[in-house]
């Protein structure tokens, strides 16, 4: 090759090598995928209240922790505790229908009896809080599939649960037991609906609540109300 063509040939070869390396780099690069982490959420739900002391202590904790919850009310237990029910609503929690009497023999005796029970509890809630309820939980927890259509036809969304703290299932459970039970029954679930109770006997539930909130918050759960 003539000497005057050598610099050009070297330059041309260098350009080809750079281009080849660039193309190979693009071809061999692994594709990048971004996956959104599944949001974990927990709904704290309280049945059978309101009570004077227990519900008040639970509301104090929820306010301190800036957590909203859902309370399923028993109408007969509102008598003498209207201010507690008003506080539940005023502090931004959801109020749902549980029962007017919580007497299974009466409310499940017929479709008519159930509809009257639901309506009576709902009327009391709306009269005291100024807001009609939209959520319902069957007393006793049974799905009552034969009656679900009746309740839904009245305009309510039925709320069950998939985890418990054990304050009804475990006799005389202390706060530590309730904390451990809540954690165990919610394990592996991205969406947790936790059943608890705020009626008068459940002082241990109020005691356990701060640690329950702390655990699920550390686990990355977002607290929600219905």
Structure tokens of 18?
């750079």
- Which of 135, 136, 205, 195 is closest to 172 using CA atoms? 205
Assign domain 40-224 one CATH number from 3.20.20.80, 3.20.20.370, 3.30.70.2860, 1.10.1370.30.
3.20.20.370
Q: What value, to the nearest 5°, has the Cα angle with vertex 124 and ends 123 and 125?
A: 90
pTM of the model as a whole: 0.84
Of 194, 166, 179, 175, which is closest to residue 40 (Cα–Cα)? 194
CA distance 86 to 81: 9
Q: How high is the pLDDT of residue 30?
A: 40
In this prediction, residue 36 carries a pLDDT of 53
User: Could you give phi then psi for residue 199, rounded to 5 degrees?
Assistant: -75, 170
Contact (CB, 8 A) for 37 and 221 = no
Q: Which residues contact 198 (CB under 8 A, 6 or more apart)?
A: 46, 47, 48, 49, 50, 51, 54, 55, 58, 71, 205, 206
pLDDT value of residue 143: 60
Peptide bond into 50 cis (omega under 30): yes
The pLDDT tens digits along the chain (226 residues) read 444 444 444 444 444 554 444 444 444 344 444 445 679 999 999 999 999 999 999 999 999 999 999 999 999 999 999 999 999 999 999 999 999 999 999 999 999 999 999 999 999 999 999 999 999 999 987 667 789 999 999 999 999 999 999 999 999 999 999 999 999 999 999 999 999 999 999 999 999 999 999 999 999 999 999 9
3-state secondary structure of 82: helix
Q: Give the Cα separation of 149 and 223 in Å (integer).
A: 29
């Amino acid at each position: 090759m003539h000497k005057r063509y050598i610099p050009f040939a070297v330059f041309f070869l260098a350009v080809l090598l750079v281009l080849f390396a660039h193309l190979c780099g693009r071809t061999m690069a692994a594709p990048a995928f971004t996956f959104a982490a599944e949001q974990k959420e927990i709904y704290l739900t309280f049945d059978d209240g309101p009570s004077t002391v227990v519900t008040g202590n639970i509301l104090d904790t929820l306010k301190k922790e800036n957590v909203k919850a859902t309370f399923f009310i028993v109408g007969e237990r509102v008598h003498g505790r209207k201010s507690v029910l008003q506080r539940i609503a005023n502090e931004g929690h959801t109020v749902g229908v549980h029962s007017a009497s919580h007497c299974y023999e009466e409310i499940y005796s017929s479709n008519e009896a159930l509809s009257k029970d639901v309506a009576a509890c709902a009327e009391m809630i709306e009269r005291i809080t100024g807001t009609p309820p939209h959520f319902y939980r069957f007393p006793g927890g049974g799905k009552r599939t034969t009656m679900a259509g009746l309740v839904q036809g009245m305009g309510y969304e039925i709320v069950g649960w998939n985890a418990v703290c054990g304050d009804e299932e475990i006799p005389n459970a202390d706060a530590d037991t309730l904390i451990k039970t809540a954690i165990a029954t919610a394990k592996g679930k991205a969406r947790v609906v936790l059943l608890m109770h705020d009626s008068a006997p459940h002082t241990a539930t109020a005691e356990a609540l701060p640690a329950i909130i702390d655990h699920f918050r550390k686990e990355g759960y977002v607290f929600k109300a219905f």
